[in-house]
Amino acid sequence: MNNVQEESLRDQKKFRRRLQIVEIARGIISAKGLRSLKVRDVAEAAGCSVGSVYNEFGDFDGVILTVNRETVQALTARLRGVPAEDPVRQLYGLAETYLDFFAAHANLLRSLFEHRMEDDRPYPDDILQMVMDAFALMHPPLVRLLPDADDVKIALLSRTLFSAVHGIISLGLEERMVAVPPQMLRQQIEQFVDTHLAGLGIAGLGIAGLGIRPLR
Amino acid sequence: MNNVQEESLRDQKKFRRRLQIVEIARGIISAKGLRSLKVRDVAEAAGCSVGSVYNEFGDFDGVILTVNRETVQALTARLRGVPAEDPVRQLYGLAETYLDFFAAHANLLRSLFEHRMEDDRPYPDDILQMVMDAFALMHPPLVRLLPDADDVKIALLSRTLFSAVHGIISLGLEERMVAVPPQMLRQQIEQFVDTHLAGLGIAGLGIAGLGIRPLR
DNA sequence: TGTACATCAGTGAACGCGCGTTCACTGATGTAC
DNA sequence: TGTACATCAGTGAACGCGCGTTCACTGATGTAC
């Protein structure tokens, strides 16, 4: 018996179960949407009782928030992987990576943005912070492209770009109000970034034009 | 007794009750959000029984959809009121009017965009059509500004602009993920339109700049 | 190594509540004569 | 105008179901000696 902190058999099982529950919950949200997530379904699919879910997560919101937390983390990891050599390409890359991630995990992203807590409890700060950090990834390339702009303006611009791109993608993928065929979304996003950068006085990559070359 | 189609006393009462129910429901959605709308509350506040609500609307979705329908109608009316003399000013006007309407009726707009039907029944076509018509109001000014662009490109551009502005406003008003102080939202929208029009090669109004004049 | 006791995760039936929906009944309004 | 009957909106208690949550109990794992 060594004294190094070691996981007991109990703790290992508990940990595996926890992972299992989260995995199942994520699968259900991803496939059928947050509104279709039920404790009983999770418990059954995870091969345990509903009590165990409560044992591990306190309440059902705990499960949802864990999934959402991991969703931001995965998104952030993907965004961090965008090459940063060229700031213009980086901005395109961030937008396209967001699109790809959103398209692949639409219901997970919706869960992240739409989940409301019970009885007005506040949304966990760490998750909000991670979302902020994620779109702060636009700051460095923007600073490089607009060396004269101060921090406040960069921050505002990055919020604008994020919200705009988010709006185009989320309404676009919904296919309800704004009927854009999914295969055109990428083109639409590229066009958007192109035009917006041009408006900032930055020459874009000129992809998928309107027949109008920005800053020709 | 004349034969001209006249409303019976019964019909009048029925009609007033219907208006009353819709009015109450709108008030509740607007004040507390769609999720807080309950048949019993509506009936009590309207001074009738829950049965009457069902009598008039078939099911509860019927009430919600009626409110949503009137929301798009009100929005469209406001957007049609934007002066059309100058196409550039018209585009700014449409964006700002949308912002004002959204800010004043945030929960009604959210109800319009977020409401999902029970058991996958399709969302009523007339409402979807009205939303499409609303943002098709951008077409004429865009056509005037970009006479060389074909219809498809104009349509795509208007969808992009609508989604982007919608994203900026809806995330902005939510104050959760994207913490923009409400009084800055107007400035943010103006800046966005400014920059995007500049990117399209159109001189904007140059409001609220980044310290960078588009197409200087 | 073995035994006795302590701990604590796991269990799932039962609880409780919210809430949309129904339906047999009532009574006001409309119609016929 | 009055009376008798028909119609149909209005009523609200009761239904039914979904679903998050609890809790007394079980049994596996850990600890002490």
Contacts of residues A109-113 at CB distance under 8 Å and 24 or more positions apart, as own/partner, are: A109/A71, A109/A75, A109/A170, A110/A33, A110/A34, A110/A170, A111/A29, A111/A33, A111/A34, A111/A64, A111/A67, A111/A68, A111/A71, A112/A68, A112/A71, A112/A72, A113/A170, A113/B177
What are the tens digits of pLDDT across the range B56-107? 999 999 999 999 999 999 999 999 999 999 999 999 999 999 999 999 999 9
Chain B contact for A43 (CB, 8 A cutoff) = no
SS3 call for A44: helix
Using the CB atom, is residue B45 less than 7 Å from strand D?
Answer: no
Fold type of domain A1-58:
Arc Repressor Mutant, subunit A (1.10.10)
Q: Select the residue from B163, B187, B216 to test the A interface by mutation, using most A Cβ atoms within 10 A.
A: B163
The pLDDT confidence band at residue A205, using thresholds 50, 70 and 90, is: confident
Q: Are the beta carbons of A167 and B167 separated by less than 8 Å?
A: yes
Q: Which two tokens stand for residue B161?
A: 């602009």
The span from the CA of B58 to the CA of B123, in Å, is 16
Chain B contact for A195 (CB, 8 A cutoff) = yes
| Nearest chain A alpha carbon to B206 | A199
For A33: left if phi > 0, alpha if psi spans -120 to 50, otherwise beta; the answer is left
Nearby residues of A66 by Cβ (< 8 Å), 6 or more positions away: A22, A25, A57
Q: Are the beta carbons of B168 and A164 separated by less than 8 Å?
A: yes
pTM for the full model? 0.92
* Extents of the domains making up chain A: 1-58, 68-209
What angle (nearest 5°) sits at the alpha carbon of residue A139, between those of residues A135 and A142?
Answer: 125
Chain A contact for B36 (CB, 8 A cutoff) = no
Q: Which runs of consecutive H residues, i.e. helices, occur in B84-214?
A: 87-104, 106-114, 125-135, 139-145, 151-174, 182-199
Distances (CA, A) of A6 to A11, A15, A17, A18: 9, 13, 18, 18
Q: Which two tokens stand for residue A62?
A: 């705990």
What are the tens digits of pLDDT across the range A156-190? 999 999 999 999 999 999 988 777 887 899 999 99
What are the tens digits of pLDDT across the range B140-197? 999 999 999 999 999 999 999 999 999 999 999 998 877 788 789 999 999 999 999 9
State residue A207's pLDDT score: 60
Using the CB atom, is residue B48 less than 7 Å from strand D?
Answer: yes
CA distance A136 to chain B (A): 11
CA distance B49 to chain A (A): 28
Q: Which two tokens stand for residue A151?
A: 């921090």
CA distance B71 to chain A (A): 14
The letter for the amino acid at A28 is I
CA distance A13 to chain B (A): 35
SS3 call for B121: coil
Residue B78 CB: number of other CB atoms within 10 A? 16
Q: Are the beta carbons of B168 and A167 separated by less than 8 Å?
A: yes
The span from the CA of A189 to the CA of B106, in Å, is 26
Answer for the pair A169, A94: CB distance below 8 angstroms, yes or no. Answer: no
Burial A113-133 (b: 16+ CB within 10 A, else e): bebeeeeeeeeeeebbebbbe
A-B CB pairs within 8 A amount to: 139
Fold type of domain A68-209:
Tetracycline Repressor; domain 2 (1.10.357)
Using the CB atom, is residue A59 less than 7 Å from strand D?
Answer: yes
Q: Which of A148, A192, A214 sits opposite B160 (nearest CB)?
A: A192
Using the CB atom, is residue B17 less than 7 Å from strand C?
Answer: no
